[in-house]
Amino acid sequence: MREFKEATYQKLLKRSGGVTAENLFMLLGKVQDAFGHVPRRVVSDLAARTGISEARIYGALTSYRDFKVRVEADG
């Protein structure tokens, strides 16, 4: 898994035109392509931006075997 880089994540957000409920999974796929997994901090950020709970996003991510979620310590 590649190291999370905030600048890369921000570029993905900008290229996607921001995040909405409609493009959330497309953006999650791009995040995974960039980092090899979907970091916890990305789930938290996207939940705040969309109003979709982290639990719902995690539930959706874990229902698709192609997504990898890695829970890492903050810091």
Percent of the chain with pLDDT over 90: 60
Task: Look at the block and give the residue holding tokens 């890369």.
Answer: 8
Cα gap 39→9, rounded to integer Å:
10
Q: What is the pLDDT of residues 14-44, one digit of tens each?
A: 999 889 888 999 999 999 999 999 999 999 9
SS3 of 60, please? helix
pLDDT at 75: 44
pLDDT(7) > 50: yes
pLDDT(73) > 60: no
pLDDT at 45: 96
